[in-house]
């Protein structure tokens, strides 16, 4: 096990109390090869123990154990032999056996700090961190200079989420040895867990310099770089990782995950395949088999990839598979990508749910209170699970609803997340929230228990499917009624989701056929946002790096939403308006614009491509509002269109053009147009979309008329009382609960 590999500055495993480099490492470097023995180990106990230590340092565990056993046959309580047997057991993955040996050693030498330190490391391996702390503190009482004890004490404190204490422990070790790679790596991990990413990157860089061969430090540095959005640096880290440990499956997992996030589907599949070849596991089988691109090279390649995805899914369902222990890394980002392709996702999502339950039957879990009669003597207990409690579009859409429900005397509201509720400006969407906030574990089994302990009548998922924990929680029955809201406006395909709250303003007539949940239609947009505060003066085109002349056709969405079908509309607009520019926004950190530019080279003529602009991602709200205000028209892309960013568009009253798709995710623009009573913005086909976009941009009177309509009616979105009242009424009615048996609505 990597946790007991002996570094040069670690305590020597022989129990001398010296550093390894000052003790047995010298023996290893200076000693001649061991003589072969006939008929087993020979020599005095001292000679045998010396041989055992040398063999252990060289990695020959079986031979070292044989020498130790020979010593113990003659001197059963010899502490150094017992201690070394414990270290061998730990390295070979037998921590309980290791603990027994080290406890026997300590009975003879109770004041040996190295043995207490290694006992703490064994207890860490067993997950018994409170006991580990007791042993590590005893080691430090005996020798405060024990760097390994300070480091491992920090690791146990970190496992117990006592991050401030963990940081102090790591720093105490670094005060003794500022370049100790293990302590630097531990501190870097601690800073990562605390969300102090820039500090973590600096410390982990030092750890990699201190020990260029450290797989753990290089892994952690790559994770931090990716979390900071520095994906090119993370790619270098993970490429170095697979060079350091090419036979380690996790190295290839890391590389594959990053490549997939960067939109490099084929290299990601190759990396996942290599990981599976090294260590075949269900999660790796899923990852290598079900990879999808973020931005597709062409319509044909998108369809080919989708066919391959569905064929692999069918093959996995048909193949025999033994139930396995759940692995969170089995989550497939492709679940999210499927929705961008413009096709019905329900069949694939249902099959995927069936596959997960086949591989991980433990996902189907029921909270104990659900099977008992409801407590009619209290208010309705409602939980809202979200992955986005920080300054995020989902939070901005649903925070007003949360506060409105808190003010209802008949409701007991719980906002639930595995993310910490931020402090300061980052908390802005929930700054006025006065209900209860419940932070749960990011481990599935713990999170289920913690939510079950709330004994909810209704559990509402605001954004299920956008990340792993919310998706896998959705397989469990944690409340009598379980609902889905439109943070991700797509069905889940999950058998335990009862109701999907949607809007008749956007859904097509055959909408129910595309949902595994029963649709509950609201007569309003199912969101309510605070109206953005606009600056007193917008920046000019020049200040924002935009062309000073010509109409701006701005498409303010993530590049994953730019379907190949939309390319023809972009080209058509640029052909019809020879002085116009189509403006996209780069991803904040991923090189998705590179893939989209490459596709445009095949679908848009060179003279037109010169007027396709990719602006850097705009984090400043005032600048984003200014770009929306300077736009002649906002382009709502095909199949998966504009969402919460429409709040800024409405605030500046810029007209938009939209072409309704087959599913709600491509019809939100239609819903906005109906709500705002500007249905002149709605196209009937792609050619009409181009005509309307250019007409709005080039006809000031039409543009002003549409802008006035948006200004007149936008309060229906920013002060969406109809939505708040309808949600409040639906939840209060308890149509499927509390007290009603859970309904499985897979066969709509």
Q: How confident is the model at residue 8 (pLDDT cuts 50, 70, 90)?
A: low
Element (H, E) at 191: helix 181-193
**CA nearest neighbour of 561 among 487, 615, 635, 652:** 635
pLDDT above 90: percentage of residues in the chain: 72
Averaged pLDDT for residues 95-113? 94
Question: Are 475 and 493 contained in the same domain?
Answer: yes
What does the mean pLDDT of the chain come to? 89
Question: Residue 407: which CATH number?
Answer: 3.40.50.11380
Tell me the sheet residues that pair with 612: 582
Averaged pLDDT for residues 59-84? 92
Q: How many domains does the chain have?
A: 4
Question: Are 601 and 582 contained in the same domain?
Answer: yes
**CA nearest neighbour of 206 among 190, 191, 184:** 184
Looking at residue 137, what is its pLDDT? Answer: 95
In tens, the pLDDT along 405-417 reads 888 878 999 999 9
93 within domain boundaries:
yes
56 within domain boundaries:
yes
* 91 neighbors 58 (Cβ within 8 angstroms): no
Give the up-direction half-sphere exposure of residue 146: CA atoms within 13 A in the CB hemisphere: 29
In tens, the pLDDT along 434-457 reads 889 999 998 999 999 999 999 999
Averaged pLDDT for residues 42-47? 83
In this structure, what are the phi and psi dihedrals at residue 141, rounded to the nearest 5 degrees?
-65, -40
Tell me the sheet residues that pair with 383: 414, 459
| Domain finish residue from 310, 334, 363 | 363
Three-state SS for 382? strand
Pair of tokens at residue 468: 């792993």
**Residue 109 reports pLDDT greater than 90:** yes
Looking at residue 510, what is its pLDDT? Answer: 94
Question: Are 358 and 375 contained in the same domain?
Answer: no
Question: Are 639 and 601 contained in the same domain?
Answer: yes
Pair of tokens at residue 229: 């959005």
- Any idea which of 157-171, 390-404, 591-605 has the lowest mean pLDDT? 390-404
Question: Are 357 and 417 contained in the same domain?
Answer: no
**Residue 1 reports pLDDT greater than 70:** no
252 within domain boundaries:
no
In tens, the pLDDT along 219-243 reads 999 999 999 989 999 999 999 999 9
Q: How confident is the model at residue 23 (pLDDT cuts 50, 70, 90)?
A: low
d(Cα 90, Cα 102) in Å, to the nearest integer? 10
578 within domain boundaries:
yes
Provide the domain limits for residue 472. Answer: 368-522
| Domain finish residue from 222, 237, 253 | 222
* 81 neighbors 72 (Cβ within 8 angstroms): yes
Question: Are 355 and 432 contained in the same domain?
Answer: no
**Residue 5 reports pLDDT greater than 70:** no
**Residue 35 reports pLDDT greater than 60:** no
d(Cα 714, Cα 606) in Å, to the nearest integer? 39
**Residue 27 reports pLDDT greater than 80:** no
- Any idea which of 404-413, 581-590, 617-626 has the lowest mean pLDDT? 404-413
Q: How confident is the model at residue 524 (pLDDT cuts 50, 70, 90)?
A: confident
* 279 neighbors 251 (Cβ within 8 angstroms): no
Is 410 exposed, middle or buried, given 0-12, 13-18 or 19+ CB atoms closer than 10 A?
exposed
How long, in residues, is the chain?
748
Question: Residue 12: which CATH number?
Answer: 1.25.40.10
Looking at residue 406, what is its pLDDT? Answer: 87
Question: Are 421 and 517 contained in the same domain?
Answer: yes
Averaged pLDDT for residues 461-490? 93
Higher pLDDT, 397 or 279: 279
The angle at the Cα of 417, spanning 368 to 592, to the nearest 5 degrees, equals 130
Looking at residue 424, what is its pLDDT? Answer: 58
* 717 neighbors 525 (Cβ within 8 angstroms): yes
542 within domain boundaries:
no
3-state secondary structure 515-555: CCCEEEEECCCCCCCCCCCCCCCCCCCCCCCCCCCCCEEEC
| Domain finish residue from 330, 363, 396 | 363
Averaged pLDDT for residues 595-622? 95
Looking at residue 643, what is its pLDDT? Answer: 86
In tens, the pLDDT along 352-383 reads 999 999 999 999 999 999 999 887 778 899 99
Question: Are 384 and 354 contained in the same domain?
Answer: no
d(Cα 332, Cα 292) in Å, to the nearest integer? 9
Looking at residue 36, what is its pLDDT? Answer: 43
Question: pTM for this one?
Answer: 0.82
- How many other C-beta atoms lie within 10 A of the C-beta of residue 372? 10
Averaged pLDDT for residues 726-730? 89
**Residue 661 reports pLDDT greater than 70:** yes
**Residue 529 reports pLDDT greater than 90:** no
Higher pLDDT, 232 or 529: 232
In this structure, what are the phi and psi dihedrals at residue 161, rounded to the nearest 5 degrees?
65, 25
**Residue 152 reports pLDDT greater than 70:** yes
**Residue 184 reports pLDDT greater than 90:** yes
Averaged pLDDT for residues 59-64? 91
Q: How confident is the model at residue 144 (pLDDT cuts 50, 70, 90)?
A: very high
Looking at residue 429, what is its pLDDT? Answer: 78
pLDDT above 70: percentage of residues in the chain: 92
Question: Are 389 and 347 contained in the same domain?
Answer: no
395 within domain boundaries:
yes
**Residue 30 reports pLDDT greater than 50:** no
Averaged pLDDT for residues 716-724? 86
Looking at residue 404, what is its pLDDT? Answer: 86
Question: Are 517 and 571 contained in the same domain?
Answer: no
Element (H, E) at 482: strand 479-484
- How many other C-beta atoms lie within 10 A of the C-beta of residue 184? 27
**Residue 37 reports pLDDT greater than 70:** no
Looking at residue 13, what is its pLDDT? Answer: 53
The residue written with tokens 């109409």 in the block is 551
Q: How confident is the model at residue 722 (pLDDT cuts 50, 70, 90)?
A: confident
Looking at residue 741, what is its pLDDT? Answer: 35
d(Cα 578, Cα 600) in Å, to the nearest integer? 18
Higher pLDDT, 247 or 26: 247
727 within domain boundaries:
no
Sheet holding 581-585, edge to edge: 612-615, 581-585, 552-554, 633-635, 656-657
d(Cα 341, Cα 294) in Å, to the nearest integer? 10
Q: How confident is the model at residue 206 (pLDDT cuts 50, 70, 90)?
A: very high
Looking at residue 33, what is its pLDDT? Answer: 42
CA distances 154 to 112, 139, 171, 220, 614, Å, are: 21, 14, 9, 16, 45
Question: Are 431 and 353 contained in the same domain?
Answer: no
d(Cα 491, Cα 454) in Å, to the nearest integer? 26
d(Cα 645, Cα 649) in Å, to the nearest integer? 7
In tens, the pLDDT along 294-344 reads 899 999 999 999 999 999 999 999 999 888 889 888 888 778 888 999 999
The residue written with tokens 């997939």 in the block is 260
Question: Residue 654: which CATH number?
Answer: 3.40.50.2000
- Any idea which of 261-270, 318-327, 340-349, 525-534 has the lowest mean pLDDT? 525-534
- Any idea which of 468-482, 526-540, 595-609, 732-746 has the lowest mean pLDDT? 732-746
Looking at residue 349, what is its pLDDT? Answer: 95
Question: Are 338 and 380 contained in the same domain?
Answer: no
628 within domain boundaries:
yes
Is 710 exposed, middle or buried, given 0-12, 13-18 or 19+ CB atoms closer than 10 A?
buried
d(Cα 646, Cα 713) in Å, to the nearest integer? 14
């Amino acid at each position: 096990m990597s946790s007991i590999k002996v570094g040069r500055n670690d305590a020597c495993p022989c129990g001398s109390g010296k550093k390894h480099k000052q003790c047995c490492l010298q023996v290893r470097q200076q000693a001649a090869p061991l003589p072969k023995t006939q008929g087993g180990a020979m020599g005095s106990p001292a000679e045998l123990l010396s041989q055992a230590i040398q063999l252990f340092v060289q990695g020959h565990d079986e031979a070292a154990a044989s020498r130790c056993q020979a010593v113990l046959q003659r001197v059963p309580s010899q502490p150094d032999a017992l201690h070394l047997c414990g270290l061998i057991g730990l390295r070979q993955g037998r921590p309980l056996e290791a603990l027994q040996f080290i406890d026997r050693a300590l009975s003879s030498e109770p004041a040996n700090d190295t043995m207490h330190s290694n006992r703490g490391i064994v207890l860490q391996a067993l997950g018994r961190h409170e006991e580990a702390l007791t042993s590590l503190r005893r080691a430090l009482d005996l020798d405060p200079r024990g760097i390994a004890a300070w480091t491992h004490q920090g690791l146990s404190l970190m496992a117990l989420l006592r991050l401030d204490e963990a940081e102090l422990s790591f720093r105490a070790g670094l005060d003794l040895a500022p370049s100790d790679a293990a302590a630097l790596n531990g501190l870097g991990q601690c800073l990562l867990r605390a969300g102090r990413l820039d500090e973590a990157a600096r410390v982990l860089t030092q750890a990699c310099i201190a020990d260029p061969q450290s797989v753990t430090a290089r892994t952690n540095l790559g994770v931090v770089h990716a979390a900071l959005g520095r994906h090119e640096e993370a790619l270098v880290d993970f490429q170095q990782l697979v060079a350091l440990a090419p036979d380690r499956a996790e190295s290839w997992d890391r590389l594959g995950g990053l490549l997939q996030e960067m939109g490099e589907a084929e290299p990601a599949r190759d990396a996942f395949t290599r990981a599976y070849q090294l260590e075949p596991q269900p999660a790796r089988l899923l990852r290598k088999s079900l990879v999808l691109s973020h931005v597709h090279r062409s319509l044909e390649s998108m369809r080919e990839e989708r066919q391959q995805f569905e064929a692999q899914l069918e093959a996995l369902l048909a193949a025999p598979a033994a139930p396995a222990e759940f692995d969170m890394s089995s989550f497939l980002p492709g679940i999210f990508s499927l929705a961008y392709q413009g096709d019905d996702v329900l069949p694939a999502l249902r099959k995927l749910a069936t596959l997960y339950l086949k591989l991980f039957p433990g996902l189907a879990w029921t909270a104990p209170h659900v099977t008992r009669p409801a407590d009619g003597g209290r208010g309705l207990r409602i939980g809202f699970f979200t992955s986005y409690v920080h300054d995020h579009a989902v939070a901005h859409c649903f925070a007003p609803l949360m506060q409105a429900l808190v003010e209802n005397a008949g409701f007991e509201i719980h906002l639930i997340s595995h993310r910490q509720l931020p402090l300061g400006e980052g908390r802005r969407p929930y700054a006025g929230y006065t209900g209860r906030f419940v932070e749960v574990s990011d481990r599935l089994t713990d999170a289920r228990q913690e939510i079950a302990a709330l004994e909810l009548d209704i559990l509402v998922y605001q954004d299920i499917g956008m990340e792993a924990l919310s998706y896998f929680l959705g397989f469990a029955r944690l409340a009598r009624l379980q609902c889905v809201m439109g943070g991700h406006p797509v069905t889940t395909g999950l058998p335990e989701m009862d109701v999907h709250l949607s809007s008749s303003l956007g859904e097509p007539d055959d909408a129910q056929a595309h949902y595994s949940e029963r649709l509950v239609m609201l007569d309003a947009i199912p969101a309510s946002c605070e109206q953005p505060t606009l600056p007193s003066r917008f920046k000019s085109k020049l200040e924002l790096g935009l062309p000073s002349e010509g109409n701006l056709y701005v498409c303010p969405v993530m590049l994953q939403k730019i379907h190949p079908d939309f390319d023809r509309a972009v080209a058509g607009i640029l052909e019809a308006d020879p002085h116009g520019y189509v403006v996209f926004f780069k991803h904040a950190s991923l090189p998705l614009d590179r893939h989209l530019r490459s596709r445009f080279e095949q679908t848009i003529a060179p003279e037109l491509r010169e007027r396709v602009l990719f602006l850097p991602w705009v984090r400043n709200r005032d600048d984003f509002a200014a770009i929306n205000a300077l736009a002649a028209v906002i382009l709502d892309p095909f199949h998966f269109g504009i969402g919460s960013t429409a709040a800024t568009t409405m605030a500046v009253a810029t007209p938009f053009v939209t072409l309704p798709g087959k599913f709600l995710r491509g019809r939100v623009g239609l819903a906005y147009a109906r709500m705002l009573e500007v249905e002149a913005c709605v196209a009937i086909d792609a050619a009409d979309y181009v005509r309307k976009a250019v007409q709005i941009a080039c006809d000031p009177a039409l543009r002003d008329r549409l802008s006035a309509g948006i200004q007149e009616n936008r309060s229906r979105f920013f002060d969406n009382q109809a939505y708040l009242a309808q949600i409040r009424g639906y939840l209060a009615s308890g149509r499927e609960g509390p007290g009603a048996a859970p309904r499985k609505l897979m066969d709509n």
